[in-house]
Amino acid sequence: MSSLSAEERKNLIVRLRRIEGQIRGLQRMIDEGKYCVDILTQISASRGALKKVGLKVLDSHINGCVKNAISKENGDEEIIAELMNVIDKFTD
Amino acid sequence: MSSLSAEERKNLIVRLRRIEGQIRGLQRMIDEGKYCVDILTQISASRGALKKVGLKVLDSHINGCVKNAISKENGDEEIIAELMNVIDKFTD
Amino acid sequence: MSSLSAEERKNLIVRLRRIEGQIRGLQRMIDEGKYCVDILTQISASRGALKKVGLKVLDSHINGCVKNAISKENGDEEIIAELMNVIDKFTD
Amino acid sequence: MSSLSAEERKNLIVRLRRIEGQIRGLQRMIDEGKYCVDILTQISASRGALKKVGLKVLDSHINGCVKNAISKENGDEEIIAELMNVIDKFTD
């Protein structure tokens, strides 16, 4: 069902593992009473990294499922409406 | 150095642990070939949750360090410049 | 070249005229020394309104040019790369 | 009531006048059927310019009203709550 290739999946999982490490690092920073500005900088970095993962998934989704539905003229209206909905959420 | 109370830290760590779980969930979703739109929805949720953690840290930072520096007229210019810098990053 | 219908154009121009009025209102607010928080609230509203215009243009672009290029298998790779690029800018 | 200096006001009004021109330009682009991607690029630029105006107003607000309320221990809790509220809106 997913349009991600094996290599893309591997690459995304590596990125997400790194983000998971950052989130654990944030817990440590808070636990150890680190300076708030350093915590906020780290949060911005993690959000940025998550955004990049999202853009990669979106790219693959458009090049896979969306393109496919349009080519086959099969459910393309629904899939584009769904795509717009997810872009809307993503730009919040 | 941090201006977070013991209770605030505990609350933030609980939130971050939940986000950590979401990031692990994302790795599973990608590994299992879940639908891209569901992955993107989950990424938006995690970014939103991280933003909320950030706003709580920012609130505590302003009510603590920033307020303190201004009250004591000690380093308030630097701390406000640093604050603006972190808000700028945070709004990206 | 545009994929916007006559009705969509009219609707978008009405929205943009309203945003133009808000931007002029902002100049007045600043000139008259209005409270900064009210100015910031108005700026957030205008940015939100601009985002909505952008999402409508994006929707029309995907349903028009992008769909067309994919259907005709003509320049679809370039148009999707360009689309991802504009979504990336748009989510900043 | 505003914490903006005469020079800051002038600078902000110049910026807003430029943004107003961009918004009028957008209406023309839509009216003339310009390419959607060019319209979207222009919208992103205007939103970015509005964000910069907002950060300048926020900076002045923090260095003026917020600092003042804290120094005089007069209404600082309310003003910080209000500040957090406006930052929250601004990061949407």
In whole angstroms, how far apart are CA B84 and each of A40, A68, C32, D25, D79?
12, 45, 25, 31, 17
Mean pLDDT to the nearest integer, B54-59: 96
Nearest-CA neighbor of D62 among D48, D46, D82, D44?
D82
Question: At residue C65, does pLDDT exceed 80?
Answer: yes
What are the residue ranges of helices labelled H in B1-92?
Answer: 6-31, 36-61, 67-71, 76-90
**What integer pLDDT is reported at residue B1 of this predicted model?**
58
**What integer pLDDT is reported at residue A14 of this predicted model?**
98
- D12: which residues sit within 8 A by CB, 6+ positions away? C30, D4, D53, D56, D57
In order, the DSSP letters of D13-31 are HHHHHHHHHHHHHHHHHHH
Interface contact B59-D84, CB threshold 8 A: yes
**What integer pLDDT is reported at residue B92 of this predicted model?**
78
**What integer pLDDT is reported at residue A92 of this predicted model?**
78
Nearest C-alpha of chain C: how many angstroms from A32?
Answer: 32
How do residues A8-54 score in pLDDT, each as one tens digit?
Answer: 999 999 999 999 999 999 999 999 999 999 999 999 999 999 999 99
**What integer pLDDT is reported at residue B52 of this predicted model?**
96
Tally of residues, chain B? 92
What is the pLDDT confidence band of residue C1, given thresholds at 50, 70 and 90? low
Interface contact B80-D62, CB threshold 8 A: yes
Q: Is B58 on the interface with D (CB under 8 A)?
A: yes
Amino acid at A84: M
Interface contact D35-C2, CB threshold 8 A: yes
Q: Is D71 on the interface with B (CB under 8 A)?
A: yes
How do residues C11-61 score in pLDDT, each as one tens digit?
Answer: 999 999 999 999 999 999 999 999 999 999 999 999 999 999 999 999 999
Which residues of C fall within a CB distance of 8 Å from D31? Answer: 9, 13
Mean pLDDT, chain B, whole residue set:
94
Whether residue D39 contacts residue C13, with contact meaning beta carbons closer than 8 Å, is answered with no
Tokens at D29, concatenated: 């682009």
Q: How far apart are CA A28 and CA A22, in angstroms?
A: 10
Mean pLDDT to the nearest integer, B34-55: 96
- D77: which residues sit within 8 A by CB, 6+ positions away? none
- Which residue does chain C place closest to D34, by CA atoms? C2
Report percent pLDDT > 90 for chain D. 89
Question: At residue C3, does pLDDT exceed 90?
Answer: no
Interface contact D23-C16, CB threshold 8 A: yes
Out of D13-17, D30-34, D87-91, least confident range: D87-91
The structural domains of chain D, with segments of one domain joined by +, span 6-90
Q: How far apart are CA D45 and CA D38, in angstroms?
A: 11
Amino acid at D92: D
**What integer pLDDT is reported at residue A36 of this predicted model?**
95
CATH code, residues A6-90:
1.20.58.1000
How do residues D46-68 score in pLDDT, each as one tens digit?
Answer: 999 999 999 999 999 999 999 99
Whether residue A56 contacts residue A5, with contact meaning beta carbons closer than 8 Å, is answered with no
Mean pLDDT to the nearest integer, D11-23: 98
Q: How far apart are CA A83 and CA A62, in angstroms?
A: 8
Interface contact D48-C92, CB threshold 8 A: yes
Q: Is D57 on the interface with C (CB under 8 A)?
A: yes
How do residues A55-74 score in pLDDT, each as one tens digit?
Answer: 999 999 999 999 999 999 98
**What integer pLDDT is reported at residue D1 of this predicted model?**
59
Which residues of C fall within a CB distance of 8 Å from D30? Answer: 2, 4, 9, 12-13, 16, 57
Q: How far apart are CA C9 and CA D34, in angstroms?
A: 11
Interface contact B30-A3, CB threshold 8 A: no
Greatest CA span in chain D, whole angstroms?
56
